[in-house]
Structure 1
Amino acid sequence: MEANRTERGAARLRALIEAASEMFLDQGYESVSLDTLIARVGGSRRNIYGPFGGKEGLFIEVVTQLCADLSRPLEELDIDAEHDVSSALTLFGCRVLSIVLQPRTLALQRLMIGEGLRFPELAQAIWHAGHDNAVRRLSVWIGRKQAADQLRGDISPSDLAAQFVNLLVTGPQLRALVGIASKPLDDLEITRLTKIAVKAFLEGALVKDKKRNA
């Protein structure tokens, strides 16, 4: 009996967080009404104030979970599955661009922009889970390629990684955020844009043929 109550409580909490996530992403922090949220999922204010202390605490929990969801797909990617530098960067870039352009990721970015001054630590957490996570993951791989003399070593791995991520993401992400993109990019277009970024990046970062330059 106690186990059943615990399971029901956990299920109710998950439903509350999921509904709150959708509402915060769609409406922003200020416009979300706890009464509307309760009417949607059932229960009472006690179900919110008990575990979270109120609307702000619930918002913090929602953003924390959204950040974990944002970083997970990239953490699961094995960049070294491709041994060729260009192929590995294309694999990584396609995954990053796909994540960035997902509707929920775009909504989270808009939330960061809209609520960043009110919740600077949460804005930093979103940035860390998205942009910084991609740069950090790629910089480790770049460091290994520099050690193997496959990428130039006169620029730090983190700077090279940041340049690649910015080169790849900035244009498509900004167009999607402000609504200029008329429709979501399909896999073929994501791959095309990624290959362009990879080519542009490697022309400045790839170690040239030493014999040819001798």
Structure 2
Amino acid sequence: MLNTFQFQTSHDIPATKRGHERCVALLESATELFLSRGYDAVSLDDIVNHAGGSKASIYKYFGNKDGLFKAICDYRRIQFFEDISVTCDQKSIDLRTNLVTTLLNFYSHIQKPKNASFMKLIMEQGQRNPDIARHIHENGPLKIQQVVADSLKKAHESGLLYCENPLYSAQLYFGILRNLEWRIIIGVPLEQDDQEVFKYISYAVDRFLDGHQKG
């Protein structure tokens, strides 16, 4: 993780392992404080006192509090990709299984209370700051949609399905989870158990694939 995280919003990229560890400590401490107290109630002094180090490190690597929050979103996006994309590079797994498993992993990820709380925090900060909203959208949903779109494009080129607009199809694909995702974010109890969710996702993926066959 330390080697792959690029600190895209930083002013100065850490050059050493210790520097990376210091940055990750700041990100994790800030995340914990933001989730427990709320973004506005947490100061940079609070973060430094919790993580150790100095405010100079925050200014050096992230610029300011908003820059730190963007970096947290980048950091958690990488963790999110690791959580849901376990099967993407396993060529022995068929396309349907890959699509079903990705959505099941997505569902499992957003069900975790800390992840659901962070999604709420993202929505709040996106409404507060259009620049943050744009950064999150371009480096979050758009990136994962593009990953799926690339897979659908390859499947189209190999004749596994007919997909003339992979990006549109990727957006449609993630819409399968929209109702469940929204209920989790706003705190409405889910009526389905895990087995019912599996049946629903399997059914929806089958209909998705049916719609990508040549008539």
Q: Which TM-score bucket, shorter chain as reference?
A: 0.7 to 0.9
* Structure 2: gaps (5+ residues): 1-15
Alignment of 1:18-57 (within 5 A): 18-57=28-67
Over aligned residues, Cα RMSD in angstroms? 3.2
Alpha-carbon distance in structure 1 between the residues aligned to 2:150 and 2:101: 15
> What is the match of residue 79 of structure 2?
69
User: Number of residues paired by the alignment?
Assistant: 199
Give distance in 1, aligned partners of 2:71 and 2:120.
18
Identity over aligned pairs, percent: 26
Q: Is the 8 A contact 1:79 1:91 kept in 2?
A: no
Query: Between Structure 1 and Structure 2, which shows a larger proportion of helix residues?
Result: 1
Structure 2 Cα separation of the partners of residues 10 and 202 of structure 1? 42
* Deviant stretches of 4+, over 6 Å: 6-9
Q: Does 1:162 align with 2:182?
A: no
- Note the alpha carbon deviations across 1:69-99, whole angstroms, 9 max, x for none: 223444553264323x432322232233333
Structure label with greater radius of gyration: 1
What TM-score results when the alignment is normalised by the length of structure 1? Answer: 0.73
Q: CA offset at residue 165 of structure 1?
A: 1.1
Deviates more, 1:169-178 or 1:37-46: 37-46
The CA deviation string for residues 178-209 of structure 1, in whole angstroms up to 9 with x for no partner, is: 000259964x444223212112323322346x
Contact kept? 1:25, 1:107, Cα under 8 Å: yes
Does residue 151 of the first structure (1) align with residue 158 of the second (2)? no
Decide whether the 8 Å contact of 2:70 with 2:136 is kept in 1.
no
- Distance of aligned partners of 1:27 and 1:88 in 2 relative to their CA distance in 1, 3 Å threshold: same
Match of 1:105 in 2: 115
Equivalences for 1:1-214 in 2 at 5 Å? 11-74=21-84, 76=86, 77-78=88-89, 80-83=91-94, 85-153=95-163, 155-166=164-175, 168-181=176-189, 186=194, 188-207=195-214
Tell me: higher relative CO, structure 1 or 2? Use CA pairs within 8 A at least 6 residues apart.
Answer: 1
CA-CA distance at 1:140 after TM superposition: 1.8
The unaligned stretches of length 5 or more in structure 1 are 1-5, 209-214
> Scaled by the length of structure 2, what TM-score is found?
0.73
- Cα distance change of structure 1 residues 128 and 78 upon mapping to structure 2, 3 Å threshold: farther
Q: 1:9, CA displacement in angstroms?
A: 6.4
Going from structure 1 to structure 2, the CA distance change for 1:132 and 1:104 (only over 3 Å counts) comes to farther
CA-to-aligned-CA distance 1:127-157 (integer Å, 9 cap, x gap): 344432332122222222223333234x412
